[in-house]
Chain A
Amino acid sequence: DAGVIQSPRHEVTEMGQEVTLRCKPISGHNSLFWYRQTMMRGLELLIYFNNNVPIDDSGMPEDRFSAKMPNASFSTLKIQPSEPRDSAVYFCASSFSGTTGELFFGEGSRLTVL
């Protein structure tokens, strides 16, 4: 079975540009999470969807960040405008039953904002 699929794997952009990260969760999973990982802050939950509905977006840093899940097999995380401090690895994860179930991560999207 395919795992969680993320694209792009690497993104280098200039400050002020729009960045869109994509995620395809594992088929049949009803929960999707976006995390950000940095050396300084470790793993931080940005937003959590259950059945395509955003349940908890308290981790979204500011209005420059937005996330959508138009259907059960696709989600996007958008940063507009991007800033150098957004440089990090962004992970998408999915599970069958929210945070009570086993969590499966994608390979991540490494974002560098110059």
Chain B
Amino acid sequence: KQEVTQIPAALSVPEGENLVLNCSFTDSAIYNLQWFRQDPGKGLTSLLLIQSSQREQTSGRLNASLDKSSGRSTLYIAASQPGDSATYLCAVYFGGNKLVFGAGTILRVKS
């Protein structure tokens, strides 16, 4: 069964800290992986999309890496800010018309 797991489930850090969110998946034959952010009561906002041929993608203070062989992706957030507080979701496209979502990591950045 193709599954996506995110660790930790929740994370609380002081403002300014660099942090890493983890995503693992059970099948290394993926097409792409996408990181999303979801604020309370809102939809999902796409942060980064990594194709299977890529090792990482960067956008501003965000850097996402992909290691297919180990079935892992990390989302690195530099110099965290209170505005980064949200739920972060990892989604993997294994094929077959369906993105498989992780349960998310709830991030709280304290000022």
Contact = CB atoms under 8 A, between A and B. Distances in A.
Contacts of A15: none
Contacts of B43: 4, 91, 105-108
A99 interface: yes
B101 A42 contact: yes
Contacts of A4: 43
A99 B92 CA distance: 9
B45 A42 contact: no
A18 interface: no
Contact of A100 (B32, B44, B98): B32
A55 B44 contact: no
Contacts of A65: none
B42, B89, B97, most chain A CB atoms within 10 A: B97
Interface string A87-114: 0000101000011111111111010000
B63 interface: no
Given A91-B43, A108-B42, A99 B99 contact: yes
Contact of B31 (A43, A99, A107, A108): A99
Contact of A103 (B46, B97, B104): B46
A100 B54 CA distance: 14
A34 interface: no
A15 to B, nearest CB: 24
B99 A45 contact: yes
B97 A105 contact: no
A105 to B, nearest CB: 4
B45 A105 contact: yes
A91 B97 CA distance: 17
Interface in B12-38: 31-32, 34, 36
A99 B97 contact: yes
B99 A103 contact: yes
Nearest to B103: A42
Interface of B: 31-32, 34, 36, 41-46, 49, 89, 91, 93, 96-99, 101, 103-104
